[in-house]
Amino acid sequence: MNKNFLITGASSGLGEKFSILISDIAKKIVIVGRKRNKLLKLKKKINKNNKLVKVFIIVADLSKKSGTLKLIQRLQKNTEIQSIDVLVNSAANFTVKKIENISIKDLDSDFQLNVISPFIISKYIGLKMKKKRKGVIFNIGSSSAYDCSKETSIYCSTKHALLGMSKAFNTELQSHGVKSIFIAPGSMKTPMGRKVKNQNYNTFIDPKEVATMMKNLLNDRRSMLVEEIKIKRKVYK
């Protein structure tokens, strides 16, 4: 397939699983995260699967405006990674706090990471995809975009916003060959999933299964358009 990918939040969870899974169909993979050591370990895993794929590491804290701008500047300067075929907005934070304990700093940081950063990155890459008349943007949401639980008011709000953003981009770009797809899994077996209260972690969704579904969507040639996918975990009695 020889596609070029950019994946934020690549150092753990679904972002990591997807980065490894698509190594056999990728020409270039740009992995973005906060910690260089984790990204270097991921690079080794990717190249173990496929020695020919070129992996580019960008260390950036997307919970800060400066980190998002740093990512865009790196993309602008490096001619090898200016053409992205598949964007995965996977970076996110999951704050668990009662409403009375939420600070303005919490709001600023989480909305920057979960909403504003994906919007800026999708705008920059999405408009380049529009010129090529092809591309896919995966926005990793959550079932929290539809149903909220206690002490997740910030996360729930940001995922509602991300859903709206994803649909808006799809409305404007799909006629130009660009798909914007909102992926909304329930609780997954990830570091973030361990923050979920009062639920059995062992029953959570395997992120590799979600990554596999996303990979399969890249081969979808049907005339119908997939705009959002809500994934529920099995209920064991």
So what's the pLDDT on residue 145? 79
| Stated pTM of the model | 0.93
Q: Are 60 and 67 in contact (CB under 8 A)?
A: yes
7: closest CA among 63, 86, 66? 86
141: closest CA among 13, 29, 228? 228
So what's the pLDDT on residue 203? 67
So what's the pLDDT on residue 10? 96
So what's the pLDDT on residue 220? 72
So what's the pLDDT on residue 235? 64
Pseudo-torsion of CA 118, 120, 121, 123, nearest 10°?
Answer: 110
> Where do the structural domains in the chain lie, given as residue ranges?
3-231
Strand order, beta sheet including 228-231: 54-59, 26-33, 3-8, 86-89, 135-140, 178-185, 228-231
- Calculate the alpha carbon distances from 34 to 7, 50, 75, 143, 226 in Å: 12, 24, 17, 25, 31
So what's the pLDDT on residue 191? 72
For domain 3-231, say whether CATH 3.90.950.20 is its number: no
**What token pair was written down for 230?**
């809500």
Please provide residue 179's backbone torsions phi and psi, each rounded to the nearest 5 degrees. Answer: -100, 135
Pseudo-torsion of CA 102, 105, 108, 114, nearest 10°?
Answer: -70
Q: What is the pLDDT along the chain (237 residues), one digit of tens a residue?
A: 789 999 999 999 999 999 999 999 999 999 999 999 999 999 999 999 999 999 999 999 999 999 999 999 999 999 999 999 999 999 999 888 999 999 999 999 999 999 999 999 999 999 999 999 999 999 999 887 788 888 889 999 999 999 999 999 999 999 999 999 999 987 777 776 667 776 776 768 888 999 999 999 998 776 667 899 888 877 655
So what's the pLDDT on residue 142? 87
Give dist(CA 1, CA 189) in Å, integer: 29
Q: Are strands 86-89 and 26-33 parallel, antiparallel or unpaired?
A: unpaired
Say which residues have a Cβ less than 8 Å from residue 104's Cβ, sequence separation at least 6: none
So what's the pLDDT on residue 49? 94
Report, in angstroms and rounded to the nearest whole number, the Rg of the chain calculated over CA atoms: 17
So what's the pLDDT on residue 198? 66
Q: What is the pLDDT of residues 20-34, one digit of tens each?
A: 999 999 999 999 999
